[in-house]
Amino acid sequence: MSNPLLIFNEKGIYCEQAKVYLDPWKPVDHAIISHGHADHSRWGHKKYITHHSNVPIIKHRLGEIVVTGKEWNETFTINGVKFSLHPAGHIIGSSQIRVEYKGEVWVFTGDYKMEDDGVAVPYETVKCHSFITECTFGLPAFKWVPQDQVMTDVNNWWQQNREDGRTSVLFGYSLGKAQRLLKYLDPSIGKIYTHGAIENMTEVLRPQLSMPETIRITRDTKKEELKGSMVLAPPSAQGTPWIRKMVPFVTASASGWMTFRGARRRRAIDKGFVLSDHCDWQGLLQAIEGTGCEKVICTHGYTEIFSRFLREKGYDARTEETQYEGEIGELEAKSEIEKDLEIVKKST
């Protein structure tokens, strides 16, 4: 029997035939990158290939790198292996990576979601034999409500806080979640302020996405002008001196983890909005069914539980250890930017 088309080694997901890595976590020569989050696009590879709409994002994050941008569905061949990128619906520029060799097709999802959020190009079903999927929220307890409903709640929350004379501080990843929230915030309620990390990323994405106006919070921003406004901040800003400027404020987090009452309370956040850029339980099952695959490899999330369920349904499913984190970072103190800095430090 020949070797599998994709293997998992200590550097990442590897295609030996093409000598190419998918979302490697250690520096390699050739890397195809699914999307711009820090756990998938790391510093230090010699050459990067990604969707062209992700190019400005990873350039912003990683500085001067050698990167080629591809179109959706554009096939490029490396040593006989056909590669193409397909929308994953996770964030702007997020792709699934399709790999085909001698008629055998593998798809690596990176991170993805089924719901069309009007920000990322919506998820496309790609037929394959083997499907490498994330399962960050691979538990039946996770069930997303439609985005419209969540954003109505967010705007009502903001309106109410404004009436109570309080500033609304909303936490979300500076890449992806922040712009998705921003797009659907109602600027008729009040002004929208941003933390520097979010403002920088938003500037990068404005050419690709229309969003309400934002104001960067700087040292000169007056405490009085913030009152009743919306402030978008990365999760790492919670509990820092930076946030004191917003007093009196209430905090909220928008994340799939907010499904659990305990997750919100442990983080001492006032309000939790369940809004995720990953699939919920039904989403994962639908996606897998859609691909028509026989083999499933679960990379991150509730991998053991999810793959056991798939096996009971008749799939050849297993898990592989990777260094992807899904939405975990959204709850932890470190931002993606801090993580980048650490990676830079380690590699230099």
Q: Is 173 a binder of other proteins (CB under 8 A)? A: no
Omega cis (within 30) before 235: no
> In angstroms, what is the minimal distance from the CB of 147 to other proteins?
15
Q: Which is nearer to other proteins, 48 or 257 (CB)?
A: 257
For residue 26, the 8-state DSSP code is: S
DSSP state of 73: T
Cα 212 versus chain centre, distance: 21
Given 186, 270, 320, 338, the residue binding other proteins (CB under 8 A) = 270
The closest alpha carbon to 114, from 326, 283, 285, belongs to 283
b/e burial code for range 198-233 (CB count within 10 A of at least 16 → b)? bbbbbebbeeebebeebeebeeeeeeeebbbbbbbb
**N-terminal to C-terminal alpha carbon distance within the chain:** 41
Cα three-residue angle 70-75-79, rounded to 5 degrees: 110
Exactly one of 55, 67, 246, 269 binds other proteins (CB under 8 A); that residue is: 269
Among 10, 64, 163, 321, binds other proteins (CB under 8 A): 321
Which of residues 53 and 259 has its CB atom nearest to other proteins in the complex?
A: 259
State which residue, 215 or 328, has the beta carbon closest to other proteins: 328
Amino acid identity, residue 31? A
Closest distance to other proteins from the beta carbon of 300 (Å): 8
- Give the nearer residue to other proteins in terms of CB position, either 205 or 258: 258
DSSP state of 3: P
248 half-sphere exposure, CB direction, 13 A CA radius: 6
- Of the candidates 14, 20, 87, 71, which has an alpha carbon nearest to the alpha carbon of residue 48? 20
Considering beta carbons, is residue 24 or 56 the nearer one to other proteins?
Answer: 24
Among 65, 209, 215, 305, binds other proteins (CB under 8 A): 305
Q: Which of 2, 312, 314, 345 binds other proteins (CB under 8 A)?
A: 312
Task: With beta carbons less than 8 A apart as the criterion, state whether 278 and 135 touch.
Answer: no
Question: Is the Cβ of residue 8 or residue 72 nearer to other proteins in the bound state?
Answer: 8
Residue 176 CB neighbours (<10 A): 27
Question: Three-class SS of residue 342?
Answer: helix
Q: What is the dihedral of CA 73, 76, 80, 82, to 10 degrees?
A: -20
State the binding string over 271-290 for other proteins (x if CB under 8 A, else -). x-------------------
User: What b/e readout covers 100-111, taking b as 16+ CB neighbours within 10 angstroms?
Assistant: bbeeebbbbbbb
Which of 36, 301 has the CB closer to other proteins? 301
Shortest separation between residue 234's beta carbon and other proteins, angstroms: 16
Closest distance of CB 69 from other proteins, Å: 33
Question: How many binding residues for other proteins (CB under 8 A)?
Answer: 33
Site for other proteins in 118-157 (CB under 8 A): 139-143, 145
Between 124 and 153, CB nearer to other proteins = 153
Q: Which of residues 205-264 bind other proteins (CB under 8 A)?
A: 250, 257, 259-264
Site for other proteins, rule CB under 8 A: 139-143, 145, 250, 257, 259-271, 301-302, 305, 308-309, 312, 321, 326, 328, 331-333
